[in-house]
Amino acid sequence: MRGALMYGPGDVRVTEREDPTIVQQTDAIVRVTAACICGSDLWPWRGQEDLAATPAPMGHEYVGVVEQVGSDVTDVTVGDFVVGTFFASDNTCEICRAGYQTHCVQRQPGAATGAQSELVRVPLADGTLVATPGQPDADLVPSLLAASDVLGTGWFAAVAAEVGPGKTVAVVGDGAVGLLGVLAARQLGAERIIAMSRHADRQALAREFGATDVVTERGDEGVAKIRALTGGLGAHSVIEAVGTQEAMMQAIRSTRPGGHVGYVGVSHDVALDGQELFFSGVHLHGGPAPVRRFLPELVDLIWRREIDPGKVFDLVLPLEEAAEGYKAMDERSAIKVLLTP
Ligand SMILES: [Zn+2]
Protein backbone atom coordinates (compact mmCIF):
# COMPACT_ATOMS: atom_id res chain seq x y z
CA MET A 1 0.00 0.00 0.00
CA ARG A 2 0.95 3.68 -0.24
CA GLY A 3 1.41 5.62 2.96
CA ALA A 4 2.90 8.85 4.33
CA LEU A 5 6.03 8.72 6.48
CA MET A 6 7.78 11.61 8.21
CA TYR A 7 11.55 11.35 8.03
CA GLY A 8 12.20 14.54 9.97
CA PRO A 9 11.17 18.19 10.10
CA GLY A 10 9.74 19.32 6.76
CA ASP A 11 10.24 15.89 5.22
CA VAL A 12 7.11 13.83 4.53
CA ARG A 13 7.21 11.21 1.80
CA VAL A 14 4.54 8.93 0.43
CA THR A 15 6.12 5.58 -0.17
CA GLU A 16 5.30 1.93 -0.71
CA ARG A 17 4.69 0.28 2.67
CA GLU A 18 3.75 -3.18 3.81
CA ASP A 19 -0.01 -3.79 4.10
CA PRO A 20 -1.10 -3.89 7.75
CA THR A 21 -2.37 -7.20 9.07
CA ILE A 22 -4.39 -8.28 12.09
CA VAL A 23 -2.01 -8.44 15.07
CA GLN A 24 -4.48 -8.80 17.95
CA GLN A 25 -7.82 -10.51 17.44
CA THR A 26 -9.48 -7.25 18.56
CA ASP A 27 -8.00 -5.38 15.54
CA ALA A 28 -9.68 -4.29 12.34
CA ILE A 29 -8.11 -3.34 9.02
CA VAL A 30 -9.82 -0.34 7.42
CA ARG A 31 -9.50 0.76 3.81
CA VAL A 32 -9.17 4.52 4.14
CA THR A 33 -11.70 6.58 2.18
CA ALA A 34 -10.35 9.88 3.44
CA ALA A 35 -7.72 10.98 5.95
CA CYS A 36 -6.37 14.37 6.88
CA ILE A 37 -3.50 16.38 8.30
CA CYS A 38 -3.84 17.53 11.90
CA GLY A 39 -2.56 20.74 13.44
CA SER A 40 -0.67 18.48 15.84
CA ASP A 41 1.17 16.87 12.88
CA LEU A 42 2.74 20.28 12.35
CA TRP A 43 4.67 20.23 15.63
CA PRO A 44 7.16 17.56 14.41
CA TRP A 45 6.99 19.03 10.88
CA ARG A 46 8.26 22.30 12.33
CA GLY A 47 10.85 20.52 14.47
CA GLN A 48 9.10 21.65 17.66
CA GLU A 49 8.46 18.09 18.78
CA ASP A 50 10.61 15.00 18.38
CA LEU A 51 9.25 11.90 16.71
CA ALA A 52 9.63 8.69 18.70
CA ALA A 53 11.35 7.00 15.76
CA THR A 54 11.86 7.91 12.14
CA PRO A 55 10.51 7.42 9.63
CA ALA A 56 7.19 7.78 11.47
CA PRO A 57 3.87 6.70 9.95
CA MET A 58 1.62 9.76 9.93
CA GLY A 59 -2.07 10.42 10.40
CA HIS A 60 -4.61 9.64 13.08
CA GLU A 61 -7.86 10.89 11.56
CA TYR A 62 -9.68 8.65 9.14
CA VAL A 63 -12.91 7.27 7.78
CA GLY A 64 -13.18 4.18 5.64
CA VAL A 65 -14.56 0.74 5.04
CA VAL A 66 -13.76 -2.26 7.24
CA GLU A 67 -11.85 -4.77 5.17
CA GLN A 68 -10.90 -7.37 7.76
CA VAL A 69 -11.59 -8.01 11.46
CA GLY A 70 -9.98 -10.20 14.11
CA SER A 71 -11.93 -13.11 15.57
CA ASP A 72 -12.80 -11.21 18.77
CA VAL A 73 -14.41 -8.26 16.96
CA THR A 74 -18.20 -8.44 17.20
CA ASP A 75 -19.63 -4.92 16.82
CA VAL A 76 -18.18 -3.87 13.48
CA THR A 77 -18.21 -6.08 10.42
CA VAL A 78 -16.52 -6.24 7.05
CA GLY A 79 -18.09 -3.69 4.72
CA ASP A 80 -19.12 -1.24 7.46
CA PHE A 81 -18.28 2.41 6.86
CA VAL A 82 -16.59 3.55 10.05
CA VAL A 83 -15.27 6.64 11.78
CA GLY A 84 -12.27 6.14 14.06
CA THR A 85 -10.60 8.20 16.73
CA PHE A 86 -6.98 9.08 17.42
CA PHE A 87 -6.72 6.87 20.50
CA ALA A 88 -8.00 3.31 20.53
CA SER A 89 -10.05 2.52 23.61
CA ASP A 90 -11.92 -0.53 24.84
CA ASN A 91 -14.96 1.61 25.75
CA THR A 92 -15.66 -0.80 28.62
CA CYS A 93 -13.19 0.04 31.40
CA GLU A 94 -14.16 2.29 34.29
CA ILE A 95 -12.42 5.32 32.77
CA CYS A 96 -14.11 4.81 29.38
CA ARG A 97 -17.52 4.35 30.98
CA ALA A 98 -17.01 7.67 32.75
CA GLY A 99 -16.55 9.27 29.30
CA TYR A 100 -12.76 9.59 29.25
CA GLN A 101 -11.89 7.13 26.48
CA THR A 102 -8.66 9.00 25.69
CA HIS A 103 -7.42 7.84 29.10
CA CYS A 104 -8.59 4.23 28.67
CA VAL A 105 -6.59 1.72 30.68
CA GLN A 106 -5.93 -0.07 27.36
CA ARG A 107 -5.25 3.10 25.37
CA GLN A 108 -3.18 2.75 22.19
CA PRO A 109 -2.70 4.85 19.05
CA GLY A 110 -6.03 4.64 17.19
CA ALA A 111 -4.41 4.41 13.80
CA ALA A 112 -1.64 2.00 14.74
CA THR A 113 -0.04 2.00 11.30
CA GLY A 114 -0.74 5.63 10.32
CA ALA A 115 -3.96 6.83 8.73
CA GLN A 116 -2.46 8.88 5.91
CA SER A 117 -2.35 5.69 3.88
CA GLU A 118 -4.49 3.32 1.88
CA LEU A 119 -5.02 0.88 4.76
CA VAL A 120 -4.83 1.27 8.51
CA ARG A 121 -4.78 -1.18 11.42
CA VAL A 122 -7.14 -0.11 14.18
CA PRO A 123 -6.68 -1.78 17.59
CA LEU A 124 -9.65 -2.41 19.93
CA ALA A 125 -11.97 -2.06 16.94
CA ASP A 126 -15.22 -2.59 18.85
CA GLY A 127 -14.44 0.15 21.31
CA THR A 128 -12.79 2.55 18.90
CA LEU A 129 -14.83 2.53 15.69
CA VAL A 130 -18.35 3.82 15.14
CA ALA A 131 -20.18 2.53 12.06
CA THR A 132 -22.43 4.87 10.12
CA PRO A 133 -26.05 3.75 9.41
CA GLY A 134 -25.04 2.89 5.83
CA GLN A 135 -22.60 3.90 3.09
CA PRO A 136 -22.48 7.71 3.17
CA ASP A 137 -23.17 10.02 0.24
CA ALA A 138 -19.86 11.45 -0.98
CA ASP A 139 -20.67 14.94 0.31
CA LEU A 140 -20.96 13.62 3.87
CA VAL A 141 -17.46 12.12 3.91
CA PRO A 142 -15.60 15.35 4.87
CA SER A 143 -17.95 15.96 7.78
CA LEU A 144 -17.65 12.39 9.03
CA LEU A 145 -13.87 12.74 8.77
CA ALA A 146 -14.03 15.96 10.81
CA ALA A 147 -15.87 14.01 13.53
CA SER A 148 -12.83 11.73 13.81
CA ASP A 149 -10.85 14.45 15.62
CA VAL A 150 -11.35 18.18 15.11
CA LEU A 151 -15.13 18.26 15.58
CA GLY A 152 -14.98 15.90 18.56
CA THR A 153 -12.15 17.93 20.05
CA GLY A 154 -13.93 21.25 19.58
CA TRP A 155 -17.06 19.67 21.03
CA PHE A 156 -15.23 18.39 24.09
CA ALA A 157 -13.67 21.84 24.58
CA ALA A 158 -17.14 23.37 24.60
CA VAL A 159 -18.45 20.74 27.03
CA ALA A 160 -15.38 21.15 29.26
CA ALA A 161 -15.96 24.93 29.22
CA GLU A 162 -19.55 24.27 30.37
CA VAL A 163 -21.06 25.96 27.32
CA GLY A 164 -24.83 26.16 27.47
CA PRO A 165 -27.90 28.35 26.95
CA GLY A 166 -27.45 31.95 28.05
CA LYS A 167 -23.67 31.69 28.16
CA THR A 168 -21.13 33.93 26.46
CA VAL A 169 -18.32 31.88 24.94
CA ALA A 170 -14.93 33.09 23.71
CA VAL A 171 -12.82 30.91 21.43
CA VAL A 172 -9.05 31.31 21.35
CA GLY A 173 -7.64 29.83 18.13
CA ASP A 174 -9.01 29.92 14.59
CA GLY A 175 -7.70 26.59 13.38
CA ALA A 176 -10.11 23.77 12.57
CA VAL A 177 -10.61 22.88 16.25
CA GLY A 178 -11.35 26.47 17.30
CA LEU A 179 -13.76 26.92 14.40
CA LEU A 180 -15.57 23.70 15.28
CA GLY A 181 -15.58 24.80 18.91
CA VAL A 182 -17.70 27.69 17.62
CA LEU A 183 -20.01 25.22 15.87
CA ALA A 184 -20.25 23.12 19.04
CA ALA A 185 -20.99 26.19 21.16
CA ARG A 186 -23.87 27.10 18.86
CA GLN A 187 -25.24 23.54 18.95
CA LEU A 188 -25.01 23.56 22.75
CA GLY A 189 -27.11 26.71 22.88
CA ALA A 190 -24.62 29.49 23.67
CA GLU A 191 -26.15 32.95 23.47
CA ARG A 192 -23.07 34.78 22.32
CA ILE A 193 -19.96 33.35 20.69
CA ILE A 194 -16.84 35.48 20.28
CA ALA A 195 -14.30 34.11 17.82
CA MET A 196 -10.74 35.40 18.16
CA SER A 197 -9.19 35.54 14.69
CA ARG A 198 -7.19 37.86 12.51
CA HIS A 199 -7.86 36.10 9.22
CA ALA A 200 -10.82 37.23 7.08
CA ASP A 201 -11.51 33.76 5.62
CA ARG A 202 -11.49 32.12 9.04
CA GLN A 203 -13.64 34.89 10.52
CA ALA A 204 -16.17 34.26 7.75
CA LEU A 205 -16.27 30.53 8.49
CA ALA A 206 -16.55 31.24 12.23
CA ARG A 207 -19.59 33.42 11.54
CA GLU A 208 -21.06 30.72 9.33
CA PHE A 209 -20.61 28.24 12.20
CA GLY A 210 -22.36 30.58 14.62
CA ALA A 211 -19.96 33.25 15.91
CA THR A 212 -21.81 36.43 16.85
CA ASP A 213 -18.68 38.58 17.37
CA VAL A 214 -15.10 38.57 16.15
CA VAL A 215 -12.12 39.91 18.08
CA THR A 216 -8.94 40.43 16.09
CA GLU A 217 -6.67 41.45 18.96
CA ARG A 218 -4.66 38.83 20.82
CA GLY A 219 -2.69 38.63 24.06
CA ASP A 220 -3.53 41.28 26.66
CA GLU A 221 -5.30 43.43 24.05
CA GLY A 222 -7.52 40.48 23.17
CA VAL A 223 -8.30 39.96 26.85
CA ALA A 224 -9.23 43.65 27.22
CA LYS A 225 -11.54 43.34 24.21
CA ILE A 226 -13.31 40.28 25.64
CA ARG A 227 -13.77 42.05 28.95
CA ALA A 228 -15.12 45.13 27.17
CA LEU A 229 -17.67 42.93 25.39
CA THR A 230 -18.79 41.25 28.61
CA GLY A 231 -19.42 44.18 30.92
CA GLY A 232 -15.91 43.97 32.32
CA LEU A 233 -16.46 40.45 33.68
CA GLY A 234 -14.99 38.13 31.07
CA ALA A 235 -16.72 35.25 29.27
CA HIS A 236 -18.54 32.44 31.08
CA SER A 237 -16.84 29.83 28.92
CA VAL A 238 -13.57 30.00 27.02
CA ILE A 239 -12.24 27.45 24.57
CA GLU A 240 -8.44 27.28 24.22
CA ALA A 241 -7.53 25.56 20.95
CA VAL A 242 -3.90 26.49 20.37
CA GLY A 243 -1.62 25.14 23.12
CA THR A 244 0.86 27.98 23.51
CA GLN A 245 1.62 30.04 26.60
CA GLU A 246 0.07 33.16 25.06
CA ALA A 247 -3.12 31.35 24.09
CA MET A 248 -3.51 29.67 27.46
CA MET A 249 -3.06 32.92 29.37
CA GLN A 250 -5.39 34.68 26.94
CA ALA A 251 -8.01 32.01 27.70
CA ILE A 252 -7.62 32.12 31.49
CA ARG A 253 -7.62 35.92 31.63
CA SER A 254 -10.67 36.15 29.33
CA THR A 255 -12.71 34.00 31.72
CA ARG A 256 -14.81 35.52 34.50
CA PRO A 257 -14.35 34.30 38.08
CA GLY A 258 -16.35 31.11 38.43
CA GLY A 259 -16.19 30.57 34.66
CA HIS A 260 -14.72 27.62 32.80
CA VAL A 261 -11.80 27.14 30.41
CA GLY A 262 -11.90 24.10 28.13
CA TYR A 263 -8.36 23.61 26.83
CA VAL A 264 -7.65 21.23 23.97
CA GLY A 265 -4.65 22.75 22.19
CA VAL A 266 -1.81 20.28 22.75
CA SER A 267 0.24 22.04 25.42
CA HIS A 268 3.73 23.10 24.35
CA ASP A 269 5.88 24.66 27.07
CA VAL A 270 2.90 26.14 28.87
CA ALA A 271 3.67 27.06 32.49
CA LEU A 272 1.00 28.43 34.81
CA ASP A 273 1.69 30.82 37.64
CA GLY A 274 0.19 29.37 40.81
CA GLN A 275 -0.67 32.71 42.36
CA GLU A 276 -2.44 33.97 39.26
CA LEU A 277 -4.34 30.70 38.92
CA PHE A 278 -5.30 30.78 42.60
CA PHE A 279 -6.75 34.26 42.45
CA SER A 280 -8.42 33.85 39.04
CA GLY A 281 -11.14 31.61 40.43
CA VAL A 282 -11.63 29.88 37.07
CA HIS A 283 -12.19 26.20 36.36
CA LEU A 284 -9.69 24.50 34.05
CA HIS A 285 -10.55 21.29 32.28
CA GLY A 286 -9.23 19.77 29.10
CA GLY A 287 -6.59 17.54 27.63
CA PRO A 288 -6.80 15.02 24.81
CA ALA A 289 -10.47 15.02 23.89
CA PRO A 290 -12.43 11.81 24.46
CA VAL A 291 -13.85 12.06 20.95
CA ARG A 292 -15.27 8.54 21.24
CA ARG A 293 -17.71 9.76 23.92
CA PHE A 294 -19.35 12.14 21.46
CA LEU A 295 -18.91 10.18 18.23
CA PRO A 296 -22.32 8.43 18.04
CA GLU A 297 -24.11 11.75 18.60
CA LEU A 298 -21.89 13.63 16.13
CA VAL A 299 -22.29 10.97 13.43
CA ASP A 300 -26.05 11.20 13.91
CA LEU A 301 -26.06 15.02 13.60
CA ILE A 302 -23.99 14.77 10.41
CA TRP A 303 -26.08 11.93 8.98
CA ARG A 304 -29.24 14.02 9.48
CA ARG A 305 -27.39 16.97 7.89
CA GLU A 306 -27.91 19.20 10.91
CA ILE A 307 -24.26 20.24 10.99
CA ASP A 308 -21.66 20.56 8.25
CA PRO A 309 -18.26 20.52 9.97
CA GLY A 310 -16.61 19.29 6.75
CA LYS A 311 -16.43 22.95 5.67
CA VAL A 312 -13.13 23.22 7.55
CA PHE A 313 -11.47 21.25 4.73
CA ASP A 314 -10.50 23.95 2.28
CA LEU A 315 -7.91 21.91 0.42
CA VAL A 316 -8.31 18.38 -0.94
CA LEU A 317 -5.23 16.59 -2.23
CA PRO A 318 -4.44 13.08 -3.39
CA LEU A 319 -2.46 11.15 -0.77
CA GLU A 320 0.58 11.26 -3.07
CA GLU A 321 0.75 15.03 -2.51
CA ALA A 322 0.64 14.83 1.29
CA ALA A 323 3.84 16.90 1.60
CA GLU A 324 2.12 19.78 -0.23
CA GLY A 325 -0.67 19.55 2.31
CA TYR A 326 1.74 19.84 5.25
CA LYS A 327 3.29 22.90 3.61
CA ALA A 328 -0.10 24.53 3.04
CA MET A 329 -1.17 24.02 6.64
CA ASP A 330 2.19 25.14 7.99
CA GLU A 331 1.95 28.37 5.96
CA ARG A 332 -1.69 28.66 7.04
CA SER A 333 -2.78 28.95 3.42
CA ALA A 334 -5.11 26.05 4.20
CA ILE A 335 -7.21 25.59 7.34
CA LYS A 336 -7.28 21.81 7.03
CA VAL A 337 -6.21 19.41 4.32
CA LEU A 338 -8.15 16.31 3.31
CA LEU A 339 -6.18 13.50 1.69
CA THR A 340 -7.72 10.91 -0.61
CA PRO A 341 -5.80 7.65 -1.09
ZN1 LIG B 1 -11.23 1.85 28.53
What is 151-286's CATH topology?
Answer: Rossmann fold (3.40.50)
Residue boundaries of the structural domains of the chain: 2-149+290-340, 151-286
Which architecture does CATH list for 2-149+290-340?
A: Alpha-Beta Complex (3.90)
The answer to whether domain 2-149+290-340 and domain 151-286 are alike in fold is no
- pLDDT for position 205: 97
Q: How many A from CA of 110 to the centre of ligand 1?
A: 13
- pLDDT for position 242: 94
Q: How many A from CA of 118 to the centre of ligand 1?
A: 28
The answer to whether residues 214 and 187 touch, using CB atoms and an 8 Å cutoff, is no
Helices (DSSP H) in the chain: which residue ranges? 42-45, 94-97, 125-128, 141-147, 150-160, 176-187, 200-209, 219-229, 245-253, 274-280, 291-303, 322-330
Q: How many A from CA of 244 to the centre of ligand 1?
A: 29
- pLDDT for position 148: 96
Q: In Å, how far are 76, 104, 128, 183, 270 from 83, measured between CA atoms?
A: 11, 18, 9, 20, 32
Q: How many A from CA of 101 to the centre of ligand 1?
A: 6
- pLDDT for position 2: 97
Query: Nearest 5°: phi and psi at 133?
Result: -65, -20
d(CA 185, CA 162): 10
**Through-space distance between the first and last CA atoms of the chain, rounded to whole angstroms:** 10
- pLDDT for position 118: 98
pTM as predicted:
0.96
Q: How many A from CA of 94 to the centre of ligand 1?
A: 6
- pLDDT for position 287: 97
List Cβ neighbours of 121 (8 Å cut-off, separation of 6 or more): 20, 21, 22, 23, 27, 28, 29, 111, 112, 113
- pLDDT for position 51: 86
Q: How many A from CA of 5 to the centre of ligand 1?
A: 29
Q: How many A from CA of 267 to the centre of ligand 1?
A: 23
Q: Which parts of the chain sit beneath pLDDT 70?
A: none
- pLDDT for position 218: 92
Q: How many A from CA of 149 to the centre of ligand 1?
A: 18
**Residue-wise pLDDT tens digits, 232-250:** 999 999 999 999 999 999 9
